[in-house]
Amino acid sequence: MQAVKTELEGASQMHSKTTVRTAVAGVGGYAGGELARLLLAHPRLGETKPLFLGRVADNAASGSVPLEQIHPQLALGEGKRQPEIRAFSWELIREAGTEIVFMALPHENSREWAPEWLEHGVRVIDLSGAWRLDDAANRAVYKLHDKDAALAEKLQAEAVFGAPELHREAIAEARLVANPGCYATSIILALAPLVRAGLVDADHGIVCDAKSGVSGAGKAATAKTHFMYTADNLSAYAIFGHRHTGEMLEQLGLTAEQLQFTPHLLPIPRGILSTIYVRLAQRMEPEQIEACLRAFYAASPMVRVHATPELPQIQHVVRTNYIDLGFELNKDGKRLVIVSCLDNLLKGAAGQAVQNMNVMCGWDESEGLL
């Protein structure tokens, strides 16, 4: 009981801080690069630059590599240098006074290492899928193996799904925040207001058709993500087994029989457009749908609701942390099509992680993101 009290007191104390000491574990990928850019420019972190942790070659004499070497777009002029990427050590973490760590690591690494960070008193924002799913059947898609199953289950029950628009109060007090997947964010935030209001005939079936830019597949090239495959092409994949589907089901309270999610690969670098087809439980007017969306997201600065029949487009959200929502309602008042757009590397990953940090620290959740 005393340990729980201490943890809650620590979270409350963080709410009163004007800054926080952060670390990023796994800064090498696309999301890691965006996370570094956002944190380095964050107005609250000007005097407490993040500690960047990553793989450092054995022959690196200084035990570090320049951040600019991995992400040249972050280079500064006039001979100025960004903080270097350092080899991991707990001594380094303690010396830096780290209070929040962003884990941009493979799922299995995040599952293994998050408990250690928490044991050292560091709050965790995990960008992987390691802690997003409560249902073990849904989590099985990641093929995770826990060395201490009892501890893992305890932390899983404690983990908060990091969608501020849905779980703002819980995130504020959380030690372990599981950042949502990019596809999942685009679907969940589009449907949550209507599903929670009981306006959707879920048993009729919800069809989610989503398309993502290539960066969503990660930095390591594969046979299906290199230029010759993706250019001038559009392809569907993981039709009955995409790993983000479980997040949608759990957060929306739906069954696998009620929702069909089909992802597609677009020949563009970044961005997601999701088209969602639903049948309403009762006849409605467009003004009622728009009012439902606007009321639900009235206190959510990162959600922009379009007035029908204006629909979101990827080009309007790319390189921002906004998710844009729009819709059209058929003349019968029951067939509804919702369109959502976001940047998969920002609102779908790094930007949402920073948004979660802002909530955890009691700051304006859009700070450093506009």
212 with 183: CB under 8 angstroms? yes
Helix (H, G, I), strand (E, B) or coil at 261: strand
Q: Which of 230, 313, 235 is nearest to 272 (CA)?
A: 313
Count other C-beta atoms under 10 Å from residue 94's C-beta: 12
Q: Which residues contact 23 (CB under 8 A, 6 or more apart)?
A: 50, 51, 52, 53, 93, 96, 98, 100, 101, 102, 122
Distance between CA atoms of 201 and 39, rounded to whole angstroms?
42
Distance between CA atoms of 307 and 123, rounded to whole angstroms?
39
Rounded to 5 degrees, φ, ψ at 279 are: -110, 130
For residues 205-232, one letter each, b for 16 or more C-beta atoms within 10 angstroms of the residue's C-beta and e for the rest, the string is: ebebbbbbbbbbbeeeeeeebeeebbee
Choosing from 182, 208, 341, 361, the catalytic residue is: 182
Q: Respond yes or no on whether the N-terminal peptide bond of residue 286 is cis (omega within 30° of 0).
A: no
Q: Is residue 361 flagged as an active site residue?
A: no
Take residue 192 and report the two structure tokens written for it: 């949550």
Pairing between β-strand 123-126 and β-strand 100-103 as defined by DSSP bridges: parallel
What are the catalytic residues? Answer: 182
